[in-house]
């Protein structure tokens, strides 16, 4: 049948997660099983190891299984997705995401074996067809746009999960292996290195202005001088220090963005308006 599969099981209900993991453990073609109690845990687990398949519940708090499935399907080397749910009505959407199977709870050993066989066939098909096979099969028609993995970041606080959109972030501040995302309503701590975020957000007009800061160009209202003669970029979420080595590049990029009309009009309390630099 092929090499033993590495599988991630995702379900927010602990007994249900225990049950699917026990079934997978009894399957002779499964070599490794990881588990996640929700979408946030799953997103944390995915980058740490290569999984052949994800067995995914649909009804979960925060990001549900279909949303998570869309993120997984858009990865450069996506795992095969098998949905495991108590509800029949999501099957069309699930297969539309490229799922290889759709299991209804409670799952029997025979039905699980069939799903694993489908995973093996799908993996073999990807290997034989090469990179072009990464796109899930679907009806003929225009290609669907790829989902941007880091367009939305999950944030945990006080037992709750919120989702911060990249377009709402004004600037990003490094905190070791974490970053703090600054938005007009406050800030959110996320475990991701600043360098990785810079790599993914560079194409979306986030620029390095300091060793510890990324700045969203459209968020800049004006440039200011601090008490020591340093340069600050003012946004409606706070001021961002600009190092001397980045100051000239930032001024040139802001001028180009303003000329192209790419600086949004986001006036906040006390703002004099965009482009009125004091420095």
Q: What is the pTM of this model?
A: 0.49
Same domain for 157 and 103? no
CB 104 within 8 A of CB 88: yes
* pLDDT of the residue at 128: 60
Q: Is residue 217 part of a domain?
A: yes
Query: Nearest Cα to 253, choosing from 211, 208, 194, 196?
Result: 208
* pLDDT of the residue at 16: 95
**pLDDT per position as a tens digit, 45-61:** 887 668 999 999 999 98
At residue 44's C-alpha, the angle toward residues 38 and 47, to 5°, is 135
3-state DSSP: the chain helix, strand, coil percent, rounded to 5? 35, 30, 35
**Lowest mean pLDDT, pick from 155-159, 166-170, 185-189:** 155-159
Which tokens hold the place of 134? 């990464």
Same domain for 186 and 231? yes
For residue 61, the domain's CATH number is: 3.40.50.2300
Same domain for 179 and 117? no
Same domain for 159 and 253? yes
Same domain for 104 and 189? no
Asked whether residue 125 carries a pLDDT value surpassing 70, the answer given is: yes
Same domain for 36 and 70? yes
Same domain for 174 and 118? no
Residue 171, Cβ density class (10 Å: 0-12 exposed, 13-18 middle, ≥19 buried):
buried
Domain with 236 in it: 153-259
* pLDDT of the residue at 63: 86
* pLDDT of the residue at 72: 87
The whole-number average pLDDT for the span 152-158 is 74
According to the 3-state scheme, what is the secondary structure of 20-44?
HHHHHHHCCCEEEEEEECCHHHHHH
Query: Nearest Cα to 149, choosing from 112, 111, 197, 184?
Result: 197
Same domain for 170 and 228? yes
Same domain for 30 and 122? yes
Asked whether residue 190 carries a pLDDT value surpassing 90, the answer given is: no
Q: How confident is the model at residue 139 (pLDDT cuts 50, 70, 90)?
A: very low
Q: Is residue 264 part of a domain?
A: no
Same domain for 58 and 90? yes
**What is the CB neighbour count within 10 angstroms for residue 246?**
20
CB 111 within 8 A of CB 103: yes
* pLDDT of the residue at 129: 53
For residue 164, the domain's CATH number is: 2.40.50.1020
* pLDDT of the residue at 272: 45
Q: Is residue 270 part of a domain?
A: no
**pLDDT per position as a tens digit, 39-95:** 888 988 887 668 999 999 999 988 889 989 888 888 878 899 999 999 888 888 888
Distance CA 116, CA 110 (A): 10
Same domain for 21 and 125? yes
Q: Which of 78, 104, 134 lies at the terminal end of a domain, its last residue?
A: 134
Q: Is residue 269 part of a domain?
A: no
How much is the mean pLDDT over the chain? 83
Q: Is residue 274 part of a domain?
A: no
Q: Is residue 147 part of a domain?
A: no
Asked whether residue 168 carries a pLDDT value surpassing 70, the answer given is: yes
Q: Is residue 144 part of a domain?
A: no
In terms of pLDDT, which residue wins out, 98 or 132? 98
Query: How many domains does the structure of the chain reveal?
Result: 2
Q: Which of 106, 134, 162 lies at the terminal end of a domain, its last residue?
A: 134
Same domain for 41 and 122? yes
Q: Is residue 202 part of a domain?
A: yes
CB 32 within 8 A of CB 6: yes
In terms of pLDDT, which residue wins out, 135 or 180? 180
């Amino acid at each position: 049948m092929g090499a033993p599969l590495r599988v991630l099981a995702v379900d927010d209900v602990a007994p249900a997660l225990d049950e699917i993991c026990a079934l997978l453990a009894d399957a002779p073609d499964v070599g490794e099983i990881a588990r996640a109690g929700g979408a946030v845990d799953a997103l944390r687990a995915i980058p740490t190891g290569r999984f052949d398949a994800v067995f995914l519940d649909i009804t979960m708090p925060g990001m549900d299984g279909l949303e998570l499935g869309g993120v997984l399907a858009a990865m450069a080397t996506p795992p095969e997705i098998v949905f495991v749910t108590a509800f029949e009505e999501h099957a069309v959407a699930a297969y539309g995401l490229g799922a290889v199977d759709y299991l209804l709870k409670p799952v029997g050993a025979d039905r699980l074996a069939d799903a694993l066989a489908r995973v093996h066939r799908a993996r073999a098909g990807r290997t034989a067809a090469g990179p072009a096979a990464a796109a899930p099969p679907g009806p003929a028609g225009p290609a669907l746009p790829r989902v941007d993995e880091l367009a939305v970041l999950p944030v945990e606080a006080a037992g709750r999960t919120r989702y911060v959109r990249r377009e709402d972030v004004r600037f990003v501040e490094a905190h070791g292996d974490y970053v703090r995302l600054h938005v007009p309503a406050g800030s959110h701590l996320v475990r991701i290195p600043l360098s990785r975020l810079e790599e993914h957000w560079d194409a979306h007009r986030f620029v390095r202005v300091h060793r510890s800061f990324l700045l969203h160009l459209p968020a800049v209202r004006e440039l200011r001088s601090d008490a020591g003669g340093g340069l600050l970029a003012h946004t409606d979420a706070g001021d961002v220090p600009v190092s001397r080595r980045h100051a000239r590049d930032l001024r040139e990029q802001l001028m180009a963005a303003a000329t192209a009309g790419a600086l949004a009009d986001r006036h906040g309390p006390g703002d004099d308006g965009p482009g009125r630099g004091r420095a």
